[in-house]
Amino acid sequence: MAEKTLVILISGRGSNMEALLDARLPARVAAVVSNIPQARGLGVAARRGIATAVVDHRAFPDRAAFEAALAAEIDRHRPDLVVLAGFTRILTPPFVERYEGRIMNIHPSLLPAFPGLDTHRRALEAGVRIHGCTVHFVTHALDSGPIVVQAAVPVQAGDTEERLAARVLAQEHRIYPQAIRWFCEGRLRVGRDGAVAVDAARAADGALTAPPLEAP
């Protein structure tokens, strides 16, 4: 199977991006693109020899102009998958539709609970016992779209936003590489009902092996 090409979009720290780079995926990261020039992740990527680019949303008169420039930068690399990894700009339907079925996001909650911002604070305020994170294909509705994989993180007595966020982040770093590996292996199928199936892996001898069970 031909190696897949990824473009990763970030806005800040870039720890999910780093987890993907560390994961030795059967893929080439062609570029890391940020809308924020100071994003820490840009330096991390550059030090690892990955091409970086900045498309600063503040330099454009409107969202459409920004997204046109962003799409041009992405498309230069002809990626099989666009990976949102802490990318904080809301993307409009025309942009998302351009990459339908080949754009993924990671969100720090168990969707459909807590879409949007401040997910850890809101989870604590709601008193949920189980929190977590979700990898999903991106559709035009915010933080929705076919769910590829989730990890559950129990809320502990006395948890602060920071402590809970750290435990969720550790799970993000585990499930995002897993989801992208499945994508690269051609094993993800999105059904008409929006449910994602993970095909069993085909071993070198042609035998089928079941996908691993995901423990948190």
If binding is defined by CB under 6 A, does position 85 make contact with ligand GRF? yes
3-state secondary structure string across 51-110 = CEEECCHHHCCCHHHHHHHHHHHHHCCCCCEEEECCCCCCCCHHHHHHCCCCEEEEECCC
Task: Tell me how far, at minimum, the Cβ of 33 lies from ligand GRF, in Å.
Answer: 13
CB nearer ligand GRF, residue 33 or residue 169:
169
Q: Is 173 a catalytic residue?
A: no
If binding is defined by CB under 6 A, does position 211 make contact with ligand GRF? no
Of the residues 107, 120, 136, 173, which is catalytic?
107
Cβ-contact 35, 29 below 8 angstroms:
no
If binding is defined by CB under 6 A, does position 174 make contact with ligand GRF? no
If binding is defined by CB under 6 A, does position 106 make contact with ligand GRF? yes
CB nearer ligand GRF, residue 78 or residue 177:
177
If binding is defined by CB under 6 A, does position 177 make contact with ligand GRF? no
Task: Tell me how far, at minimum, the Cβ of 165 lies from ligand GRF, in Å.
Answer: 7
The β-bridge partners of 107 are 134
In angstroms, what CA-CA distances link 43 with 10, 15, 66, 89, 112?
12, 12, 22, 20, 33
Total residues at interface with ligand GRF (CB under 6 A): 13
Structure tokens at 132: 């977590």
Q: Which of residues 32, 36, 77, 107 is near ligand GRF by CB under 6 A?
A: 107
User: Using CB atoms, what's the residue nearest to ligand GRF?
Assistant: 86
Cβ-contact 9, 34 below 8 angstroms:
yes
Instruction: Write the DSSP symbol of residue 155.
Output: P
d(CA 158, CA 198): 37
Q: What are the backbone angles phi and psi of residue 102, rounded to the nearest 5°? A: -140, 40
CB nearer ligand GRF, residue 12 or residue 115:
12
CB nearer ligand GRF, residue 10 or residue 103:
10
- Report the catalytic residues: 107
- In the complex, the residues that contact ligand GRF under the rule CB under 6 A are 10, 12-16, 85-86, 106-108, 169, 172
